[in-house]
Amino acid sequence: MRKILISGATRGIGKAIALKLLKEGHSISLGVREREDLLNTPLDPKLNTSNSFLVHTYDATDQNSSKKWVEKTIETFKGIDTIIHCAGIFKRTNLLFNDNEIKDIEDIWKVNVMGPWILTKDAWKYLCLSNKPRIIVLVSMSGKRSKGNLASYSMSKFALMSLCQTMRNEGWEKGIRVTAICPGWVNTDMAKEINHFPKKDMIQTNDIASICSNLLNLPNSSVPFELALNCQLETTI
């Protein structure tokens, strides 16, 4: 069984992944901005008092919170062998943005790129000490092609994909295997305003959770670096 850090697990993809892996018996450490968001849910720490489950405050824009989360996880689990990066934000910032939108660009950079970078850095030495360490990053199809006019979101996801490639390069000889999952539309709160595409035809969070579970069971010789998940025809990749 693995010792897993999961960011962004209060809802959506991260929550589905956490629920599945917890049910499978892994030790799960969740980093969340607001612990209250988990109250009266299956991930409520008051309802999961096992030594294999931990909830810790984590803000992707705060470097200190990353270190504290990693340190508490090591204290509790005595190791970390997997990170699953799900924390992310969505902004509709266009190329020709308004002056008052500069903070949106800064925020999306901090959360979508620097957050995973810093958390990976803080946990790196523990990954290197573990057996068959893994990093899974929820990127997006927007990290493979820019579609429409969502400049800041695509920018952050392209940068995140580049970061994944460097994680793979740096970690390969240490046994660290990295997978960048790049879904199209996923049926989450982030896509709730998408009216032109039926929710039932979107990628479902439980399917991504199943993919993550399968990835963690593969031998190091067969771990894919990139998984593009298509719920509609993509002609640019």
Give the span between the Cα atoms of 132 and 219, in whole angstroms: 8
126 catalytic? Reply is no
| Residue 134 DSSP symbol | E
- Calculate the CA 67 to chain-centre distance: 17
- Please list the alpha-helical segments (H only) found in the chain: 12-23, 63-77, 102-109, 115-128, 151-171, 205-217
Catalytically annotated residue among 153, 157, 183, 186: 153
Of 132, 115, 133, whose CA–CA distance to 124 is shortest? 133
Give the span between the Cα atoms of 64 and 144, in whole angstroms: 31
- Please list the alpha-helical segments (H only) found in 78-193: 102-109, 115-128, 151-171
| Residue 73 DSSP symbol | H
By annotation, the residues acting in catalysis are 153
